[in-house]
Amino acid sequence: MDIVVLVKVVPNIERVRFDMEKGTVDRSSAESEINPFDLNALEAALQIKEKFGGKITALSMGPQSAEGVYRDVFARGAERAVLLSDRRFAGADTLATSCTLSEAIRKLEHFDLVLCGEKTTDGDTGQVGNEVAEFLGIPSLYYVSMLGIDNGNIYATVELDGEKLVYKVDTPALLSVTKDANVPRLPTLREKLEARKKSVEIWDAEKLGGNTERFGAKGSPTRVAKTVVPKEEGRKGSIYRDVKEGIDALLSVLEA
């Protein structure tokens, strides 16, 4: 079972500072990391590989400066890592990103499954997985909260509107897993050391056939026209520092 895992390197969103005037993120203010949701996709890939054998290829798009952090995928079980990096890929929205990623997947010799996380912490759209599936013309399942393997079959559970739906997954397919799907294991020191010996393949626009109209800002139908810092409206409420007084006030409000 050959698996492609989509991975993104993102700033640590809990720590990153915002330039409120420019409405941008000061990426130097926090370390980069692998998008936490993608670790669940990597773990799922690893579990499937353990049962079926095969090869895990991590695929990412981003600046070459992301390579250092991205190498972590080797320690987490990927045999191969491809980083799509080219100035012509820059400024891509989800459609251009998905188009670029799917072109790269077509360039791989073979794949059975594409796995991805539910969303990224920085973009927070959750759109790329299914756009990639559509470009590849393969079926997909989103919000997979459990993956089971039984009798050589893969079963994916999706919870939707108070129902639990279990599907048998036929390949090729794309699955997007949630944080509930598994607990990503931590790489051992040895795995980390081994990972240092491996290298990330860098692919540019030429490698992907050079149809640059579809990539980056040029291939992106959406753009951010401006960013606004929301006004702190707040409410001028009654805040009680005396607990008894506060309780009395609340009780009379709650009664109403």
Partner 1 sequence: MSVLVFAEMKGKEIHPVAFELLGKGEEISKELSIKLEAVVFGGDESTAQELIDYGAENVYLYEGEQESCKECLSSLATEIKPEIMLFGATKFGRALAPRIAASLNAGLTADCIDLRVEEKEFIQIRPAFTGNILAHIKTRSTPKLTTVRYRVMKPAEKRKREGRIIKKESSVDIKKSFPLVKREKIESIDIQNADIIVSGGRGLNSKEDFKMLEKLASLLGGVVGSSRPLVDDGWISKDHQVGFSGNTVKPRLYIAIGISGSSQHLAGMRNSEMIIAVNSDPSAPIFRYADYGIVGDLYEVVPKLIEGLEQKVS
Applying CB under 8 A, which part among 49-57, 78-86, 199-207, 216-224 lies near partner 1?
216-224
Q: Binding partner 1 by CB under 8 A: which of 106, 164, 196, 218?
A: 164
Write out the binding residues for partner 1, residues 93-122 only, by CB under 8 A: 93-95, 98-99, 122
Alpha-carbon gap, residue 222 to 80, rounded angstroms: 32
- Provide, rounded to whole angstroms, the least separation between the CB of residue 86 and partner 1: 21
218 touching partner 1, by CB under 8 A: no
Tokens of 134: 């559509």
Backbone angles phi, psi at 219, to 5 degrees: -90, 10
Locate tokens 């692919």: which residue? 203
Give the burial class of 187: count Cβ atoms within 10 A of its Cβ; 0-12 exposed, 13-18 middle, 19 or more buried.
middle
Element (H, E) at 148: strand 140-150
255 touching partner 1, by CB under 8 A: yes
Residues present in the chain in total: 256
Contact pattern for partner 1 over residues 166 through 205, marking x by CB under 8 A: xxxxx--x-----xx-------------------------
Write out the binding residues for partner 1, residues 22-81 only, by CB under 8 A: 23, 25
209 touching partner 1, by CB under 8 A: no
For residue 86, give the nearest of 224, 198, 200, 210 by alpha carbon.
Answer: 210
131 touching partner 1, by CB under 8 A: yes
Q: Which is nearer to partner 1, 13 or 202 (CB)?
A: 13
Locate tokens 């998008």: which residue? 35
